[in-house]
Amino acid sequence: MSTYTPHRVVILCRISDARDEDTTGVDDQEKHCRGLADRLGWKVWKVVVENDVSAYKRRKIQLPDGTYGLRTVRPGLRDAIAWLSTGEADALIAYDLDRAVRDPRDLEDLIDAVELRKPRPPVESVTGSLRLANDADITMARVMVAVANKASRDTARRVANARLRKATNGEYSGGIRPFGFLKDGVTVEPAEAAEIVKATEALLAGASLRSVVRSINAAGVKTSRGKEWNTVELRDMLRRARNAGLAVYKGEVVGQASWPAIVPEESWRAVVALLNDPARRTSPGNRARWLGSGLYICGGCGETVICSRSGPATRPYYRCRPPRGGAQRPGNHVTRTAELLDEHVEELIIERLSRPDAADLSLQDQGEDVAPLHVEAVTLRARLDELATLHADGEIDARQLSTGSIRLRNQLKDIENRITAASQGNVFAGVVGTEDTRATWKRQDLGRKRAILDALMTVTIMPARHGRGPDGSYFDPASVRIEPKR
């Protein structure tokens, strides 16, 4: 035991698996550590809490010299070691050795921080398993951390093997209840499943991720943790392969799952491709705020227009995009009041969607028949499993396994791409064939409206007469050229 009484003691509390932000484990550790400090007469300076932090799992990170290495990510422990090294803290208390360190490199850094200071800052634990007062203590700590590290490796390997076995068999491997399913992870929860279908269809029909988040939160639907949705949570949920009834291991689909699909595989693949598209704009500054921005065409120069309030105008209006470099584009450029033009275009869209043949619009969006593609994909995955079995039994060598796997995976990737392309989204789904087309149209978000506009027609703004028209309005519908696309 140290011969002096520390007055700036750091308490280190850690738990590796805190479900739903449960801090009971670390709170209990802190209570016991404070009790030890009181018995020793030490004064607590700081309490470092690492909630839901592993002392064993390592990640690839960039090191200070620019190279990369595998390290445990423990900001709290790093702070404690730094305070001991500089003398800002003069002692450390943890509940036990396992709560403090499980990685030999972390232990060595802690030992260095202790041995470099004079007098030597004491390190103690409630259970007595962590002490660094002398060479014997340090040797024992090294042995115990090595044993604990091996135990963690053994556990990780057993868990990984169990998860692979369950995934291959299409079984649920446990964890936090997945949205859309009951706690067993297999039984579909109808109300939540309906939200998954609704969100998937909305995105594929042209709605923005933010608008879908707003819609699901407005409906009062919570995540499986009982929280409101945000774009990250919703994106991750919609990209889950389990929504399509597929089992996954380490991010790779390994086969059909034991639970039913909530959305067709082609729809899931299409929404994953959409959300993973690096060109997808998510910055609020780049988001279109008007129906025709980037879609309407100037009849004078042939370029698309934008909507703005710049200049002396007090009302928003459509105008040509400003040329780069200040050079004026040739042609008779046009401008048009945004509200009046959008109202006119929306009326034309509603009229088209209200026609008896509007249902045919959905049929025109149907792609390749995916049923045979699914059969072929299942066959290819089975052949990959057969190759792995042959290699395990010594029937083929590693080179043959690699060659065969590459060919089969390339074929499977091609099939999956065709499945994705077959369902890039029907922009008219849920809009045509309703009792009140106008009301249905008004309920759509701007992204969906723009997608429908782009699919239905090309709008060109032509030069207009000056002054009021016969009806007293400055807007002349004849100055807008509409070219139907279907």
Q: Where are the domains of the chain?
A: 9-153, 190-284, 288-364+429-484, 371-421
- Residue 46 is predicted with a pLDDT of 94
Count of CA atoms in the C-beta half-sphere (13 A) of 196: 28
Of the candidates 341, 352, 334, 351, which has an alpha carbon nearest to the alpha carbon of residue 292? Answer: 341
Residues of the chain with pLDDT under 70: 1-3, 17-24, 160, 162-170, 206, 277-288, 310-314, 322-331, 362-371, 374-375, 378, 419-426, 467-473
- Residue 384 is predicted with a pLDDT of 80
Q: For the domain 190-284, what is the CATH superfamily, name and number?
A: Putative Large Serine Recombinase; Chain B, Domain 2 (3.90.1750.20)
Question: pTM to 2 decimals?
Answer: 0.48
CATH numeric code, 9-153: 3.40.50.1390
- Residue 310 is predicted with a pLDDT of 62
- Residue 356 is predicted with a pLDDT of 86
CA 137 to each of CA 90, 130, 335, 361: distance values in angstroms, whole numbers, following the listed order: 18, 8, 82, 78
What's the chain's length in residues?
486
- Residue 324 is predicted with a pLDDT of 54
Question: What is the C-alpha to C-alpha distance for residues 227 and 44, in angstroms, rounded to an integer?
Answer: 35
Of the candidates 263, 261, 260, which has an alpha carbon nearest to the alpha carbon of residue 199? Answer: 263
- Residue 247 is predicted with a pLDDT of 85
